[in-house]
Chains A and B, each alone.
Chain A
Amino acid sequence: MLQRRRNTATGQSVVELSLILVLVVMASLLMLNSLGVNLQSIYCRAASSLGSSSCEHLLSDDLASLNGWQVVSGTWTNTGGRLNGGPGEGRVFKDLNASDYVVTVNAANLKQGNGYGVFFRTSNPTRVNGYAFQYDPGANGMLIRKWVNGNEINPPIAYASAPNYNWYGPDRQVQIVAQGSSITVKIDGKQVLAATDSTYSSGGVGFRTWDSTSTSFSGLTVDRTAP
Protein backbone atom coordinates (compact mmCIF):
# COMPACT_ATOMS: atom_id res chain seq x y z
CA MET A 1 0.00 0.00 0.00
CA LEU A 2 2.76 2.39 1.09
CA GLN A 3 4.83 1.32 -1.91
CA ARG A 4 1.92 2.13 -4.25
CA ARG A 5 1.45 5.59 -2.71
CA ARG A 6 5.16 6.29 -3.06
CA ASN A 7 5.12 5.28 -6.70
CA THR A 8 2.10 7.48 -7.35
CA ALA A 9 3.75 10.46 -5.71
CA THR A 10 6.91 10.01 -7.83
CA GLY A 11 4.84 9.65 -11.05
CA GLN A 12 2.96 12.86 -10.42
CA SER A 13 6.11 14.88 -10.00
CA VAL A 14 7.33 13.63 -13.41
CA VAL A 15 4.01 14.72 -14.91
CA GLU A 16 4.33 18.13 -13.27
CA LEU A 17 7.89 18.61 -14.49
CA SER A 18 6.93 17.52 -18.01
CA LEU A 19 4.00 19.95 -17.99
CA ILE A 20 6.25 22.81 -16.88
CA LEU A 21 8.79 21.95 -19.57
CA VAL A 22 6.16 21.79 -22.33
CA LEU A 23 4.56 25.06 -21.18
CA VAL A 24 7.92 26.86 -21.02
CA VAL A 25 8.79 25.68 -24.56
CA MET A 26 5.35 26.73 -25.88
CA ALA A 27 5.55 30.12 -24.17
CA SER A 28 9.06 30.71 -25.55
CA LEU A 29 8.04 29.82 -29.11
CA LEU A 30 4.90 31.98 -28.96
CA MET A 31 6.87 34.88 -27.47
CA LEU A 32 9.52 34.69 -30.21
CA ASN A 33 6.83 34.43 -32.89
CA SER A 34 4.87 37.42 -31.58
CA LEU A 35 8.08 39.47 -31.48
CA GLY A 36 8.86 38.46 -35.06
CA VAL A 37 12.06 36.69 -34.15
CA ASN A 38 13.09 34.04 -36.64
CA LEU A 39 14.51 30.91 -35.01
CA GLN A 40 16.70 30.11 -38.00
CA SER A 41 18.12 33.61 -37.82
CA ILE A 42 18.99 33.09 -34.14
CA TYR A 43 20.61 29.75 -34.98
CA CYS A 44 22.64 31.30 -37.78
CA ARG A 45 23.83 34.19 -35.63
CA ALA A 46 24.92 31.71 -32.97
CA ALA A 47 26.56 29.46 -35.58
CA SER A 48 28.44 32.31 -37.24
CA SER A 49 29.67 33.57 -33.87
CA LEU A 50 31.17 30.11 -33.37
CA GLY A 51 32.95 30.33 -36.73
CA SER A 52 30.56 28.19 -38.77
CA SER A 53 30.04 29.21 -42.40
CA SER A 54 26.89 27.12 -42.90
CA CYS A 55 24.69 30.23 -42.77
CA GLU A 56 27.00 32.60 -44.62
CA HIS A 57 24.67 33.45 -47.54
CA LEU A 58 20.97 32.90 -48.00
CA LEU A 59 21.71 32.94 -51.70
CA SER A 60 24.84 33.37 -53.78
CA ASP A 61 24.72 33.30 -57.58
CA ASP A 62 27.29 34.63 -60.03
CA LEU A 63 24.46 34.89 -62.62
CA ALA A 64 26.57 33.06 -65.20
CA SER A 65 23.64 30.71 -65.83
CA LEU A 66 19.89 30.59 -65.35
CA ASN A 67 19.99 27.39 -63.27
CA GLY A 68 17.35 27.65 -60.57
CA TRP A 69 15.73 30.74 -62.10
CA GLN A 70 12.15 30.89 -63.32
CA VAL A 71 11.84 32.94 -66.50
CA VAL A 72 8.30 34.31 -66.49
CA SER A 73 8.61 36.57 -69.52
CA GLY A 74 11.03 38.45 -71.75
CA THR A 75 14.46 37.70 -73.20
CA TRP A 76 17.10 36.50 -70.74
CA THR A 77 20.49 35.13 -71.79
CA ASN A 78 23.87 34.45 -70.19
CA THR A 79 26.98 35.71 -71.93
CA GLY A 80 30.37 36.69 -70.57
CA GLY A 81 29.41 35.34 -67.14
CA ARG A 82 26.55 37.83 -66.84
CA LEU A 83 22.76 37.70 -66.99
CA ASN A 84 21.51 39.84 -69.86
CA GLY A 85 17.92 41.06 -70.05
CA GLY A 86 15.76 42.91 -72.56
CA PRO A 87 14.31 44.29 -74.62
CA GLY A 88 10.61 44.16 -73.74
CA GLU A 89 8.72 43.26 -70.59
CA GLY A 90 10.81 40.59 -68.90
CA ARG A 91 10.71 39.01 -65.46
CA VAL A 92 12.88 36.31 -63.93
CA PHE A 93 12.66 35.03 -60.36
CA LYS A 94 14.47 32.88 -57.84
CA ASP A 95 12.55 31.48 -54.89
CA LEU A 96 13.80 32.16 -51.38
CA ASN A 97 12.25 31.35 -48.03
CA ALA A 98 13.57 34.29 -46.03
CA SER A 99 12.26 37.52 -44.57
CA ASP A 100 14.86 40.06 -43.42
CA TYR A 101 17.79 40.24 -45.81
CA VAL A 102 20.22 42.30 -47.86
CA VAL A 103 20.16 41.83 -51.63
CA THR A 104 23.42 42.81 -53.30
CA VAL A 105 23.90 42.93 -57.06
CA ASN A 106 27.63 43.53 -57.47
CA ALA A 107 27.43 44.85 -61.00
CA ALA A 108 24.22 46.09 -62.63
CA ASN A 109 24.61 47.76 -65.97
CA LEU A 110 22.01 49.62 -68.04
CA LYS A 111 23.12 49.91 -71.68
CA GLN A 112 19.96 51.49 -73.04
CA GLY A 113 16.26 51.93 -72.40
CA ASN A 114 13.97 53.08 -69.63
CA GLY A 115 15.52 51.07 -66.80
CA TYR A 116 15.62 47.79 -64.90
CA GLY A 117 14.08 46.41 -61.73
CA VAL A 118 15.31 44.22 -58.88
CA PHE A 119 12.51 42.28 -57.19
CA PHE A 120 12.63 41.28 -53.52
CA ARG A 121 10.30 39.60 -51.03
CA THR A 122 8.36 38.15 -53.95
CA SER A 123 6.02 35.20 -54.19
CA ASN A 124 3.92 33.65 -56.96
CA PRO A 125 6.18 34.73 -59.88
CA THR A 126 3.55 34.28 -62.60
CA ARG A 127 1.29 36.74 -60.80
CA VAL A 128 3.86 38.37 -58.66
CA ASN A 129 3.33 39.81 -55.20
CA GLY A 130 6.23 41.66 -53.62
CA TYR A 131 8.42 44.72 -54.07
CA ALA A 132 10.70 46.00 -56.82
CA PHE A 133 13.45 48.57 -56.81
CA GLN A 134 13.54 50.37 -60.15
CA TYR A 135 16.62 52.04 -61.60
CA ASP A 136 14.48 54.13 -63.86
CA PRO A 137 15.69 56.87 -66.22
CA GLY A 138 12.24 56.62 -67.86
CA ALA A 139 10.75 57.95 -64.61
CA ASN A 140 13.72 60.29 -64.23
CA GLY A 141 14.58 58.75 -60.86
CA MET A 142 14.75 55.68 -58.67
CA LEU A 143 11.79 54.14 -56.94
CA ILE A 144 10.46 51.28 -54.84
CA ARG A 145 7.20 49.85 -56.02
CA LYS A 146 4.77 47.34 -54.58
CA TRP A 147 3.35 44.58 -56.80
CA VAL A 148 -0.06 42.98 -56.23
CA ASN A 149 -1.11 39.92 -58.26
CA GLY A 150 1.13 40.89 -61.18
CA ASN A 151 0.17 44.57 -61.18
CA GLU A 152 2.58 47.38 -60.33
CA ILE A 153 1.05 49.76 -57.82
CA ASN A 154 1.06 53.47 -58.53
CA PRO A 155 2.18 55.69 -56.88
CA PRO A 156 5.41 53.98 -55.76
CA ILE A 157 6.06 53.69 -52.03
CA ALA A 158 9.28 55.70 -52.48
CA TYR A 159 10.59 57.88 -55.30
CA ALA A 160 13.77 59.93 -55.63
CA SER A 161 14.14 62.24 -58.61
CA ALA A 162 17.60 62.11 -60.24
CA PRO A 163 17.52 64.37 -63.33
CA ASN A 164 21.28 64.62 -63.93
CA TYR A 165 22.25 61.08 -63.00
CA ASN A 166 24.69 59.14 -65.19
CA TRP A 167 22.26 56.29 -65.90
CA TYR A 168 24.09 54.45 -68.68
CA GLY A 169 27.50 52.87 -68.99
CA PRO A 170 29.11 52.17 -65.63
CA ASP A 171 28.47 49.06 -63.58
CA ARG A 172 26.60 50.00 -60.43
CA GLN A 173 26.43 48.06 -57.18
CA VAL A 174 22.80 47.83 -56.06
CA GLN A 175 22.06 46.96 -52.44
CA ILE A 176 18.56 46.55 -51.01
CA VAL A 177 18.05 46.11 -47.28
CA ALA A 178 14.64 44.77 -46.21
CA GLN A 179 14.30 44.53 -42.45
CA GLY A 180 10.86 44.33 -40.87
CA SER A 181 8.78 47.07 -42.48
CA SER A 182 11.86 49.13 -43.35
CA ILE A 183 13.32 49.11 -46.87
CA THR A 184 16.42 51.02 -47.97
CA VAL A 185 18.32 51.04 -51.25
CA LYS A 186 21.95 51.95 -51.82
CA ILE A 187 23.66 52.55 -55.15
CA ASP A 188 27.46 52.21 -55.06
CA GLY A 189 27.27 52.36 -51.26
CA LYS A 190 25.24 55.57 -51.12
CA GLN A 191 21.66 55.44 -49.84
CA VAL A 192 19.22 56.67 -52.48
CA LEU A 193 15.83 55.49 -51.19
CA ALA A 194 14.08 54.63 -47.93
CA ALA A 195 10.54 53.39 -47.43
CA THR A 196 8.28 51.80 -44.84
CA ASP A 197 5.76 49.14 -45.82
CA SER A 198 4.58 45.98 -44.11
CA THR A 199 2.50 44.35 -46.86
CA TYR A 200 5.05 41.63 -47.65
CA SER A 201 7.38 40.15 -45.07
CA SER A 202 9.21 37.41 -46.97
CA GLY A 203 9.93 35.88 -50.36
CA GLY A 204 12.35 35.55 -53.22
CA VAL A 205 14.28 37.82 -55.56
CA GLY A 206 14.22 38.61 -59.27
CA PHE A 207 14.99 41.00 -62.11
CA ARG A 208 12.82 42.97 -64.50
CA THR A 209 13.17 44.73 -67.85
CA TRP A 210 10.66 46.74 -69.86
CA ASP A 211 10.33 48.66 -73.14
CA SER A 212 13.67 49.02 -74.96
CA THR A 213 15.84 48.17 -71.96
CA SER A 214 19.12 46.35 -72.48
CA THR A 215 20.76 45.46 -69.19
CA SER A 216 23.12 42.98 -67.57
CA PHE A 217 23.77 41.78 -64.03
CA SER A 218 26.50 39.80 -62.31
CA GLY A 219 27.24 38.66 -58.77
CA LEU A 220 24.04 38.33 -56.75
CA THR A 221 24.15 37.60 -53.03
CA VAL A 222 21.41 37.62 -50.42
CA ASP A 223 22.52 37.78 -46.79
CA ARG A 224 20.75 38.01 -43.48
CA THR A 225 20.47 41.50 -42.08
CA ALA A 226 22.82 42.40 -39.23
CA PRO A 227 21.44 41.77 -35.73
Chain B
Amino acid sequence: MATDATPPTPPMPSMEEYAQSLVRRPPDPKQRRLIWVLIASLTVLVVVLGLVNLVQSNQFAVFSGNGSISGMIVDGSGNPVNADVFIERSTIESRSDSTGRFAISGIPTGQQIVVVAHNGMGQEYPVVVTAGGITDIGIVRVSKTAVPGE
Protein backbone atom coordinates (compact mmCIF):
# COMPACT_ATOMS: atom_id res chain seq x y z
CA MET B 1 0.00 0.00 0.00
CA ALA B 2 1.32 3.41 -1.07
CA THR B 3 1.92 6.11 1.49
CA ASP B 4 2.07 9.90 1.02
CA ALA B 5 4.69 10.41 3.70
CA THR B 6 7.76 12.30 2.38
CA PRO B 7 11.17 10.97 3.35
CA PRO B 8 12.73 12.73 6.33
CA THR B 9 14.92 15.71 5.40
CA PRO B 10 18.60 15.16 6.26
CA PRO B 11 19.87 17.63 8.86
CA MET B 12 21.30 20.87 7.34
CA PRO B 13 25.10 21.24 7.79
CA SER B 14 26.31 24.17 9.84
CA MET B 15 28.12 26.99 7.97
CA GLU B 16 31.41 25.80 9.35
CA GLU B 17 30.82 22.24 8.15
CA TYR B 18 29.75 23.58 4.79
CA ALA B 19 32.86 25.75 4.46
CA GLN B 20 35.15 22.88 5.42
CA SER B 21 33.58 20.61 2.83
CA LEU B 22 34.42 23.06 0.00
CA VAL B 23 37.35 21.98 -2.10
CA ARG B 24 40.04 24.64 -1.89
CA ARG B 25 42.59 24.30 -4.60
CA PRO B 26 45.99 25.72 -3.85
CA PRO B 27 46.85 28.63 -6.14
CA ASP B 28 48.25 27.59 -9.49
CA PRO B 29 51.98 28.50 -9.47
CA LYS B 30 51.81 29.51 -13.15
CA GLN B 31 48.89 31.81 -12.52
CA ARG B 32 50.63 33.31 -9.52
CA ARG B 33 53.79 33.92 -11.56
CA LEU B 34 51.69 35.67 -14.21
CA ILE B 35 50.13 37.90 -11.56
CA TRP B 36 53.54 38.92 -10.27
CA VAL B 37 54.78 39.56 -13.81
CA LEU B 38 51.74 41.82 -14.27
CA ILE B 39 52.48 43.61 -10.98
CA ALA B 40 56.13 44.09 -11.97
CA SER B 41 55.13 45.44 -15.40
CA LEU B 42 52.62 47.85 -13.89
CA THR B 43 55.24 49.04 -11.38
CA VAL B 44 57.70 49.75 -14.22
CA LEU B 45 54.93 51.60 -16.13
CA VAL B 46 54.08 53.72 -13.06
CA VAL B 47 57.76 54.60 -12.52
CA VAL B 48 58.22 55.57 -16.21
CA LEU B 49 55.02 57.66 -16.23
CA GLY B 50 56.08 59.29 -12.95
CA LEU B 51 59.40 60.29 -14.55
CA VAL B 52 57.56 61.66 -17.62
CA ASN B 53 55.35 63.77 -15.34
CA LEU B 54 58.41 64.98 -13.40
CA VAL B 55 60.16 66.09 -16.60
CA GLN B 56 56.99 67.82 -17.83
CA SER B 57 56.55 69.70 -14.55
CA ASN B 58 59.92 71.51 -14.81
CA GLN B 59 60.85 70.12 -11.37
CA PHE B 60 63.41 67.94 -13.10
CA ALA B 61 65.70 70.97 -13.44
CA VAL B 62 66.18 70.87 -9.66
CA PHE B 63 68.33 67.77 -10.15
CA SER B 64 70.43 69.20 -12.98
CA GLY B 65 71.90 72.17 -11.08
CA ASN B 66 71.77 75.95 -11.30
CA GLY B 67 73.49 78.70 -13.22
CA SER B 68 73.57 82.50 -13.38
CA ILE B 69 72.76 85.26 -15.83
CA SER B 70 74.05 88.80 -16.08
CA GLY B 71 73.64 91.84 -18.31
CA MET B 72 73.24 95.59 -18.53
CA ILE B 73 70.05 97.57 -19.09
CA VAL B 74 69.98 100.96 -20.80
CA ASP B 75 67.31 103.34 -22.08
CA GLY B 76 66.80 104.54 -25.65
CA SER B 77 69.68 107.04 -25.25
CA GLY B 78 72.05 104.43 -23.89
CA ASN B 79 71.88 105.63 -20.29
CA PRO B 80 71.77 102.94 -17.56
CA VAL B 81 68.35 102.41 -15.95
CA ASN B 82 66.97 100.66 -12.90
CA ALA B 83 64.75 97.94 -14.32
CA ASP B 84 63.18 94.71 -13.09
CA VAL B 85 64.53 91.39 -14.29
CA PHE B 86 62.39 88.24 -14.01
CA ILE B 87 62.87 84.62 -14.90
CA GLU B 88 59.57 83.72 -16.55
CA ARG B 89 57.41 81.05 -14.87
CA SER B 90 59.41 81.30 -11.65
CA THR B 91 59.57 83.52 -8.59
CA ILE B 92 63.17 84.48 -9.35
CA GLU B 93 63.61 88.22 -9.87
CA SER B 94 66.13 91.01 -9.41
CA ARG B 95 66.70 94.66 -10.28
CA SER B 96 69.51 96.39 -12.14
CA ASP B 97 71.67 98.82 -10.14
CA SER B 98 72.50 102.47 -10.88
CA THR B 99 75.00 101.39 -13.53
CA GLY B 100 72.28 99.32 -15.23
CA ARG B 101 74.02 96.05 -14.36
CA PHE B 102 72.34 93.00 -12.91
CA ALA B 103 73.31 89.44 -12.00
CA ILE B 104 71.01 86.65 -10.87
CA SER B 105 72.18 83.29 -9.55
CA GLY B 106 70.33 80.11 -8.63
CA ILE B 107 68.53 79.76 -11.96
CA PRO B 108 67.63 76.19 -12.96
CA THR B 109 69.64 75.00 -15.95
CA GLY B 110 68.19 74.71 -19.44
CA GLN B 111 66.11 76.96 -21.65
CA GLN B 112 64.83 79.98 -19.70
CA ILE B 113 63.18 83.26 -20.65
CA VAL B 114 64.52 86.43 -19.05
CA VAL B 115 62.06 89.34 -18.89
CA VAL B 116 63.43 92.87 -18.56
CA ALA B 117 60.69 95.28 -17.45
CA HIS B 118 60.66 99.05 -17.07
CA ASN B 119 57.67 101.35 -16.50
CA GLY B 120 55.17 98.51 -16.89
CA MET B 121 56.54 97.22 -20.21
CA GLY B 122 58.72 94.17 -20.62
CA GLN B 123 60.72 92.34 -23.24
CA GLU B 124 61.64 88.68 -23.36
CA TYR B 125 65.11 87.26 -23.95
CA PRO B 126 65.45 83.48 -24.34
CA VAL B 127 68.67 82.16 -22.79
CA VAL B 128 70.27 78.80 -22.10
CA VAL B 129 71.49 78.49 -18.52
CA THR B 130 74.30 76.02 -17.87
CA ALA B 131 75.19 74.37 -14.56
CA GLY B 132 77.67 76.56 -12.70
CA GLY B 133 77.98 78.91 -15.69
CA ILE B 134 77.20 82.62 -16.15
CA THR B 135 75.16 83.51 -19.22
CA ASP B 136 75.68 87.15 -20.23
CA ILE B 137 72.71 88.54 -22.19
CA GLY B 138 74.70 91.70 -23.02
CA ILE B 139 73.27 95.20 -23.25
CA VAL B 140 69.47 95.35 -23.23
CA ARG B 141 67.54 98.42 -24.38
CA VAL B 142 64.20 98.90 -22.58
CA SER B 143 61.01 99.33 -24.58
CA LYS B 144 59.54 102.85 -24.70
CA THR B 145 56.15 102.03 -26.16
CA ALA B 146 53.64 99.21 -26.13
CA VAL B 147 52.52 99.98 -29.68
CA PRO B 148 53.72 97.27 -32.07
CA GLY B 149 56.28 98.40 -34.62
CA GLU B 150 57.22 101.65 -32.88
Contacts and interface: CB of A to CB of B under 8 A. Distances in A.
B27 A13 contact: yes
B56 to A, nearest CB: 6
Given A30-B50, A34-B49, A151 B88 contact: no
Interface in B93-110: 93
A191 to B, nearest CB: 19
B121 A151 contact: yes
Contact of A16 (B36, B43, B45, B117): B36
Contacts of A39: none
Contacts, number: 87
Q: For the complex, would chain A's binding face be called helix, strand, loop or mixed by DSSP majority? A: helix
A141 B148 contact: yes
B59 interface: no
Contact of B115 (A13, A20, A153, A156): A153
Contact of A154 (B26, B27, B42, B123): B123
A16 B49 CA distance: 21
Contacts of B121: 151-154
Interface in B125-149: 143, 145-148
A4 B39 CA distance: 25
A153 B147 contact: no
A34 B45 CA distance: 13
Contact of B42 (A20, A143, A148): A20
A31 interface: yes
A151 B42 contact: no
A9 B143 contact: no
B30 interface: no
B11 interface: no
A151 B93 contact: no
Contacts of B120: 150-152
Interface string B60-91: 00000000000000000000000010101100
A27 interface: yes
Contacts of B46: 23, 26-27, 30
B35 A199 contact: no
B49 A31 contact: yes
A149 B26 contact: no
Contact of B147 (A9, A12, A139, A149): A139
B52 A151 contact: no
A23 B42 contact: yes
- Most chain B CB within a 10 A radius of its CB, from A23, A24, A146, A156: A23
A181 to B, nearest CB: 13
Contacts of A138: 147
Nearest to A28: B49
B123 A153 contact: yes
Contacts of A151: 84, 115, 117, 120-122
Contacts of A27: 42, 45-46, 49
Contacts of B43: 23
Contacts of B26: 5-6, 9
Contact of B146 (A6, A26, A31, A152): A152
B119 to A, nearest CB: 9
A146 to B, nearest CB: 8
Contacts of B42: 20, 23-24, 27
Nearest to B52: A34
Contact of B86 (A16, A26, A33, A148): A148
12 contacts: A6-B24, A9-B26, A23-B39, A27-B42, A27-B49, A34-B53, A146-B124, A149-B84, A149-B86, A151-B121, A153-B124, A154-B148
